[in-house]
Amino acid sequence: MIHKIAVFTSGGDSPGMNACIRAVVLAAQHHNIQVLGYFKGYEGLIDNSFKVLHPSDVKDIIHRGGTILKTARSERFMEKQYRIQAAENLKKEGVDGIIAIGGDGTFKGALAFQEHCSLPVIGCAGTIDNDLIGTDFTIGYDTAINTVVEAIDKIRDTAQSHERIFIVEVMGRDAGLIALRSALASGADAVLIPELKNDSAALVAKFEQWKKEGGSRIIVVAEGDESGGAYKVAELVKSGLPKADIRVSILGHVQRGGNPSCMERVNASAFGYYAVKALQEGKRSEMIGFVNKTITYTPFAKAVKHHLKVKPELELLISVLSA
């Protein structure tokens, strides 16, 4: 029986995390389960820093970006002594189950925790990068790509006016999904992502074509791309098009903030609700996701181990429309 659960957000924050926390609290209340909200992810477990969450605490948060529980990438949790301390704290508080909202690093932490803590942990996929196996969308991704598209639309206005080439760098250390979708949606002229090898011959051919046609261009580059980022790409473009007027725009953390989109709020709320249900059903070490509009559960070990492959259909679309 589950009477008391811990919930926390960990890793990079993402819009929609608050909607998820809200759903956890309301679903738990529905089943007479008490919720302890731990602050700053695994740091809160180590320091026993938490607050009992009531429905009144989550009343006006569904539309807010960030996370009311704060977040951190805990260095200390990588050390055994602190994981043991966290396990002891949870035992002392009488917690029966844990809901971890975060991404790859969060679930790797949950796997390491298993050695010291027998409590079931359920994960809600939360990261703007959308780089987890077992879900079509992670919490934050939809809002982030809409933020990027809005920014590129604005950049396009000034790019056109000056007939400039803009290199727009978006987030994604290991994953190019933000770059890929936002490039498609904003009609970019080229996109460079870590998952696909850069074809320098094709790029040079493109430069020749741009030279003939003139006008403005938008190149989207994921921060983790092999090129080394927007400034390196700018150098490359300059070498092929010495007369071009080139500007770099790094969108940065603006992509992590803002009010979550409608889809985000709905997905995040569903994840939170089903996380509570999963604990009640005796599930453990699994991540909740949505695949083809259906709630799915993926073992942490699988969700974190594999790197996403770009779907061939998406690759084809990109190659014709934005390569």
Which chain residues interact with ligand F6P by CB under 6 A? 11-12, 127-129, 171-173, 223, 256
User: What is the Cα–Cα distance from 147 to 316, expressed in whole angstroms?
Assistant: 24
**In the complex, what is the shortest distance from the CB of residue 212 to ligand F6P, in angstroms, rounded to a whole number?**
36
Report the chain's terminal Cα–Cα distance, integer Å.
53
- Position of minimal CB gap to ligand F6P: 12
From the candidates 129, 131, 189, 225, give the one annotated as an active-site residue.
129
**In the complex, what is the shortest distance from the CB of residue 173 to ligand F6P, in angstroms, rounded to a whole number?**
4
Look at the alpha carbons of 208, 209, 214, 220 in this order and tell me if their dihedral is positive or negative: negative
Structure letter (DSSP) for residue 285: S
Looking at the Cβ atoms of 106 and 285, the one nearer to ligand F6P is 106
**In the complex, what is the shortest distance from the CB of residue 152 to ligand F6P, in angstroms, rounded to a whole number?**
17
Looking at the Cβ atoms of 11 and 44, the one nearer to ligand F6P is 11
Looking at the Cβ atoms of 165 and 170, the one nearer to ligand F6P is 170
Beta strands in the chain (DSSP E): 4-9, 34-38, 50-53, 97-102, 121-125, 165-170, 190-192, 217-222, 246-250, 286-291, 294-299
**In the complex, what is the shortest distance from the CB of residue 143 to ligand F6P, in angstroms, rounded to a whole number?**
12
Query: Is 129 an active-site residue?
Result: yes
**Residue labelled with tokens 């760098």:** 169
- Contacts of residue 254, defined as CB under 8 A and 6 or more positions apart, other chains included, come to 147, 151
Looking at the Cβ atoms of 33 and 177, the one nearer to ligand F6P is 177
Looking at the Cβ atoms of 122 and 177, the one nearer to ligand F6P is 177
Structure tokens at 291: 């695949």
**In the complex, what is the shortest distance from the CB of residue 4 to ligand F6P, in angstroms, rounded to a whole number?**
29
**In the complex, what is the shortest distance from the CB of residue 132 to ligand F6P, in angstroms, rounded to a whole number?**
11
Looking at the Cβ atoms of 116 and 232, the one nearer to ligand F6P is 232
DSSP 228-282: -SHHHHHHHHHHH-TT--EEEEE-GGGGG-SPPPHHHHHHHHHHHHHHHHHHHTT
Looking at the Cβ atoms of 171 and 193, the one nearer to ligand F6P is 171
Amino acid at 6: A
**In the complex, what is the shortest distance from the CB of residue 38 to ligand F6P, in angstroms, rounded to a whole number?**
19
Of 92, 93, 102, 142, whose CA–CA distance to 122 is shortest?
102
Question: What backbone phi and psi angles, to 5 degrees, belong to 166?
Answer: -105, 135
Walk across the sheet containing 286-291 and list its strands. Answer: 50-53, 34-38, 4-9, 97-102, 121-125, 286-291, 294-299
- Asked if residue 172 lies in contact with residue 223, where contact means CB atoms within 8 angstroms, the answer is yes
- Contacts of residue 67, defined as CB under 8 A and 6 or more positions apart, other chains included, come to 9, 13, 17, 18, 21, 101
- Asked if residue 163 lies in contact with residue 245, where contact means CB atoms within 8 angstroms, the answer is yes
Q: Catalytic residues, which ones?
A: 129
